[in-house]
Amino acid sequence: MSGIQPRDRQALLAARQRHLGKMLSLSYREPLKIVRGRGAYLYDESGREYLDCVNNVCHVGHCHPRVVAAAANQMAELNTNTRYLHDNIVTYAERLTSTLPNHLSVCFFVNSGSEANDLALRLARNHTGREHLLVLDHAYHGHTAALIDASPYKCNSKGGRGAPPNTHVLSAPDTYRGPYRRGDPDAAIHYADQARDVLAAQEIAAVIAEPAMGCGGQIILPNGYLARLFAHVHGAGGVCIADEVQVGFGRVGSHAWCFETQNVAPDIVTLGKPIGNGHPLGAVVTTPEIADSFNNGMEYFNTFGGNPVSCAIGLEVLQAIEDEGLQRNAHETGSYLLAGLQDLATRHELMGDVRGLGLFIGVELVRDRDTLEPAEREADNVIEGMKARGVLLGTDGPYHNVLKIKPPIVFSRQDADRLLTALDATFSGNTI
């Protein structure tokens, strides 16, 4: 913070309200001023420690020393665009694609998950010569104009204008409160087959789907759903896009990529958030055929995408995941935490559903387990109660009643115990 004079929280808040857009939200009723991070922890200006259970951007931990060093070392040597040959971008592309199925072998590097998804739609539309899209209800894919139109979480909510005619919205495959639930062995079939009527009426360029839904409420898709949906789309000549921005890079524990849990082979995979551990980096990985069809005479150039510093950081993130066994940690710690949360749910009626894969977990709060009346106000109070106990959580879902738990994947069993203890105390206390 060289040259920046720290301000107290109220002065900083007042200046922010003057100079930043009012739609730029802050977490918590009394906003935190966070000045330092390390691993799974954040620290405010007074030095108070908070366990970060919601930041899925700093994937291998806040201020990971190796990632910081990789950035500093490369920045001190060179940072420029992709019009020059450089080892970093090619080495990173090789390393990244080695974690994916063989058919996904061509990379485009960008600066964010939003930019990755926007480019993915361009690739799909260019390849098929079509414009129409299939999306899932409550999905969020990014903040560009094209992606707001493809994100029911935005376009069908407050301030939105609804989905445009070329965006076709399928029901979210929510087996907790949707029309087809966990007791139905054919739930995946029923949800996926909703695509058939649209595909019969329209030539679809692509379906874009998160293999586990984040903003939709930490929804874990029923087994076989994506395989059947993708088969319908492929059969109609469309392209299948897996949006791994929230759930990739080993977060689900059992697999490196969440789409693998659904046993599917997407045509395009989009990456963001954890890819750079907080550094602005994103990627689109696709097949040679789709990439070649995009080579139509219009140059694709991204000023910052694939620069040497970003690629050095991306490489170090992949290496840290491997060297530190962080995918295994996500699986083992996530399984332990999920079991602990399910045990808590037997004692706290407000916890209507606990679901998750690895360190991607949701707890849906309801006022009545039969009617599933959403407990939005209670969820907000739980978040505030947890903050008071030094644990940071957030809410998501169409009713804002789902506690989202997606910490850095260095999150330990001891961290899980701290979360469980605080959550038990909060549900048992007077904060709800």
In this prediction, residue 431 carries a pLDDT of 46
| Domain end among 288, 323, 358 | 323
Q: Do residue 199 and residue 258 come from a single domain?
A: yes
Number of structural domains found in the chain: 2
| Domain end among 284, 308, 323 | 323
Query: Which CATH number goes with the domain that contains 316?
Result: 3.40.640.10
List all residues 6 or more positions away from 361 whose beta carbon is below 8 Å from its beta carbon: 218, 334, 337, 338, 341, 354, 355, 404, 405, 406
Q: Do residue 302 and residue 380 come from a single domain?
A: no
Residue 177 lies in a domain: yes
Residue that the structure tokens 């109660």 belong to? 385
Q: Do residue 281 and residue 349 come from a single domain?
A: no
Confidence of residue 419 (pLDDT cuts 50, 70, 90): very high
| Domain end among 282, 305, 323 | 323
Q: Do residue 402 and residue 309 come from a single domain?
A: no
Residue 15 lies in a domain: yes
Q: Do residue 267 and residue 355 come from a single domain?
A: no
Range(s) of the domain holding residue 201 = 66-323
Instruction: For residues 171-181, give the mean pLDDT.
Output: 97
Q: What is the pTM of this model?
A: 0.96
Q: Do residue 240 and residue 333 come from a single domain?
A: no
Q: Do residue 318 and residue 330 come from a single domain?
A: no
In this prediction, residue 432 carries a pLDDT of 46
Alpha helix segments (H runs only) across 20-86: 65-75
Across all residues in the chain, what is the average pLDDT? 96
pLDDT digits (tens, 9 = 90+) for 217-272: 999 999 999 999 999 999 999 999 999 999 999 999 999 999 999 999 999 999 99
In this prediction, residue 8 carries a pLDDT of 85
Q: What is the rounded CA–CA span in Å between residue 371 and residue 356?
A: 22
Residue 211 lies in a domain: yes
Closest to 267 in 3D by CA, of 248, 297, 289: 289
CA distance readout (Å), 321 to 59, 100, 140, 354:
9, 15, 26, 26
Residue 2 lies in a domain: no
Instruction: For residues 340-356, give the mean pLDDT.
Output: 98
Query: Which CATH number goes with the domain that contains 27?
Result: 3.90.1150.10
Closest to 152 in 3D by CA, of 165, 142, 166, 162: 162
Q: SS3 for 347?
A: coil
Residue that the structure tokens 């002065």 belong to? 11
Q: Residue 430 carries which DSSP code?
A: S
Instruction: For residues 29-52, give the mean pLDDT.
Output: 96
Residue 25 lies in a domain: yes
List all residues 6 or more positions away from 249 whose beta carbon is below 8 Å from its beta carbon: 59, 256, 257, 271, 274, 275, 317, 318, 321, 409
- Does position 1 have pLDDT exceeding 60, yes or no? no
List all residues 6 or more positions away from 363 whose beta carbon is below 8 Å from its beta carbon: 341, 345, 351, 353, 354, 402, 403, 405
383: β partners: none
Q: Do residue 319 and residue 414 come from a single domain?
A: no
Residue 3 lies in a domain: no
In this prediction, residue 3 carries a pLDDT of 73
Q: Do residue 163 and residue 293 come from a single domain?
A: yes
Q: How many alpha carbons lie under 13 Å from residue 345 in its C-beta half-sphere?
A: 18
Q: Do residue 292 and residue 407 come from a single domain?
A: no
Residue 92 lies in a domain: yes
Cβ–Cβ under 8 Å, residues 178 and 397:
no
Q: Do residue 157 and residue 32 come from a single domain?
A: no
pLDDT digits (tens, 9 = 90+) for 391-411: 999 999 999 999 999 999 999
Closest to 209 in 3D by CA, of 275, 259, 272: 259
Residue 206 lies in a domain: yes
Q: Residue 299 carries which DSSP code?
A: P
Closest to 235 in 3D by CA, of 196, 201, 271, 194: 196
Q: Do residue 290 and residue 346 come from a single domain?
A: no
In this prediction, residue 242 carries a pLDDT of 98
